[in-house]
Amino acid sequence: MRIIALLALLLIPALAAHAQQSPVGRWKTFDEGRPRGIVEIHQSRDGSLAGKVVQVLDLEHGPNPLCVKCRGADRHKPIIGMVTLRGLKPDGKGRWSGGSVLDPENGKTYKAKLELLDGGRKLGMSGCIGFLCRQQVWVRE
């Protein structure tokens, strides 16, 4: 029994270090320095990354706001539970691109890039139109 406990203690730091090399997990999002929500990033069946809103922290529009400016199937749907990041694939050590991000605030979709920062404790999420990109820094929960 002691050997199993000792092995578990030895593996915990290795598993934690591995988790820090991937954006999979829960992230507190910020926009212009204000906390906006919690996004949970997961790996999709095709191996790409996707992220959905699991909590809204900015309650300006109520506790369960709708995406009133979204188009198509997302129009007037609750933001909580909405997949806002899609199709991100690795493009280098600690970087993912090739996907899209939906901004529920304005209903627009942008090209998305992710980059692990600060040893995986932070995530740079960039939304781009052409060559113009705007980055938010998210914090791992």
Residue 5 lies inside a defined structural domain of this protein: no
Does some domain include residue 31?
A: yes
Provide the CATH number for the domain around residue 122: 2.40.128.520
pTM metric for this prediction: 0.83
pLDDT in tens, 85-123: 999 999 989 999 999 999 999 999 999 999 999 999 999
Whole domain around residue 63: which residue ranges?
A: 22-140
pLDDT single digits (tens) 34-91: 999 999 999 999 999 999 999 999 888 888 999 999 999 999 999 999 999 999 999 9
Give the 3-state DSSP-derived string for the chain, with helices as H, strands as E and coil as C.
Answer: CHHHHHHHHHHHHHHHHHHCCCCCEEEEEEECCEEEEEEEEEECCCCCEEEEEEEECCHHHCCCCECCCCCHHHCCCECCCCEEEEEEEEEECCEEEEEEEEECCCCEEEEEEEEEEHHHCEEEEEEEECCEEEEEEEEEC
Number of domains in the chain: 1
Asked if residue 131 is part of any domain, the answer here is: yes
